């Protein structure tokens, strides 16, 4: 029934990590007060977990499993993660999603579904795998360096870059950079100003101890797109991850979007798709 390696509250995982023990860990964590698992990617950004599995709402029978989660972000949301092969599975998930949202006073109810990598009409979000054992990437000749390697006057332009790229999370990232709580951020500089960035470059062990390059914030200013800066940043980041002995990286990209097309052209492996709709 698991067509894409995705675990509620954890997100995408490497196929080798998707075990019964991992699912058990998420259920144990759900019984505590916003407790992080040691390999949860969100542990980098917060002192508490804002999403938990509603264990009492799990439904499991042959051919179909429903795992609901509750997020306290914003007005709150219940999501029912549907693992199933029955044609009317989405209909079966609608009622419990709505009921749980009402019971917990959440503003939204959604159903999350999955497609395997072989689906020709994949939609929503693609789960992609960069395997660092597969390719040796040459050092790119480019205007990309770690943020701290640039002169002070160049570093000072990151604030304006972050403000313009706030919708992509760079305001938050810049706050973390100023506080010294994140790893290196790679930046592309044109005409003495930051034009693009990817980071932080952090490696953490996954659920079975394999070193994983964690997801990054990634973006290029609108006026500098189409010049190849995104690809240079990406390749520099992948080389950094490979050079620091990461085994792999997992990404989620909007199907058909700029990042999706870049990753596909760079030869990443598609592991499947997630998509959601209102319940």
**What are the pLDDT digits (tens) for 36-66?**
888 998 888 887 788 999 999 999 988 889 9
**Buried/exposed 145-172: b ≥16 CB within 10 Å, e otherwise:** eebeebeeebbebbeebbebbeeeebee
Give the per-residue pLDDT at 140: 60
φ and ψ at residue 258, rounded to 5 degrees: -60, -50
CATH pick for 134-246 out of 1.10.3720.10, 2.130.10.30, 3.40.630.30, 3.20.20.10: 3.40.630.30
User: What share of the chain in percent tops pLDDT 90?
Assistant: 76
Burial 10-42 (b: 16+ CB within 10 A, else e): bbbbbeebbeeebbebbeebbeeeeebbebbbe
- Summarize pLDDT for 208-230 with one digit per residue, the tens: 999 999 999 999 999 999 989 99
pLDDT of residue 15: 95
Tokens of 87: 């044609």
Quick one: pLDDT at residue 137?
Answer: 62
- Give residue limits of the domains in the chain: 6-116, 134-246
- For 114, the enclosing helix (H) or strand (E) is strand 108-115
Between strands 77-84 and 108-115, the pairing is parallel
What is the structure's pLDDT at 130?
95
Read off the pLDDT band of 81 (50, 70, 90): very high
**SS3 assignment, position 262:** helix
Higher pLDDT, 48 or 4: 4
Mean pLDDT in residue range 84-88: 77
Mean pLDDT of 63-88: 90
Whether the Cβ atoms of residue 9 and residue 49 lie closer than 8 Å to each other: yes
| pLDDT tops 90 at residue 1 | no
pLDDT tens-digit readout, 184-209: 999 999 999 999 999 999 999 999 99
């Amino acid at each position: 029934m698991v067509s894409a390696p995705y675990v509620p509250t954890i997100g995408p995982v490497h196929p080798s990590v998707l075990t019964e023990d991992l699912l058990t860990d998420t259920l144990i964590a759900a019984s505590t007060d916003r407790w992080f698992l040691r390999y949860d990617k969100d542990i980098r950004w917060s002192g508490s977990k804002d999403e938990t599995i509603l264990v009492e709402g799990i439904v499991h029978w042959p051919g179909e499993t429903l795992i609901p989660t509750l997020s306290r972000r914003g007005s709150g949301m219940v999501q029912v993660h549907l693992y199933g092969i029955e044609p009317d599975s989405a209909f079966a998930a609608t009622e419990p999603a709505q009921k749980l949202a009402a019971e917990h006073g959440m503003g939204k109810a959604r159903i999350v579904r999955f497609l395997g990598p072989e689906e020709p009409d994949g939609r929503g979000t693609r789960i992609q795998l960069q395997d660092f054992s597969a390719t040796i990437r040459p050092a790119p000749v480019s205007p990309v360096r770690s943020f701290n390697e640039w002169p002070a006057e160049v570093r000072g332009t990151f604030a304006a870059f972050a403000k313009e790229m706030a919708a992509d999370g760079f305001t938050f990232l810049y706050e973390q950079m100023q506080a010294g709580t994140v790893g290196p951020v790679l930046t592309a500089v044109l005409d003495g100003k930051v034009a693009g960035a990817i980071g932080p470059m952090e490696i953490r062990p996954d659920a079975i101890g394999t070193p994983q390059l964690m997801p990054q914030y990634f973006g290029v200013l609108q006026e500098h797109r189409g010049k190849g800066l995104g690809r240079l940043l990406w390749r520099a980041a992948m080389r950094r991850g490979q050079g620091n002995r990461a085994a792999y990286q997992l990404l989620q990209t909007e199907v058909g979007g700029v990042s999706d097309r870049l990753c596909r052209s760079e030869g990443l492996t598609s592991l499947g798709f997630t998509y959601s709709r209102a319940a």
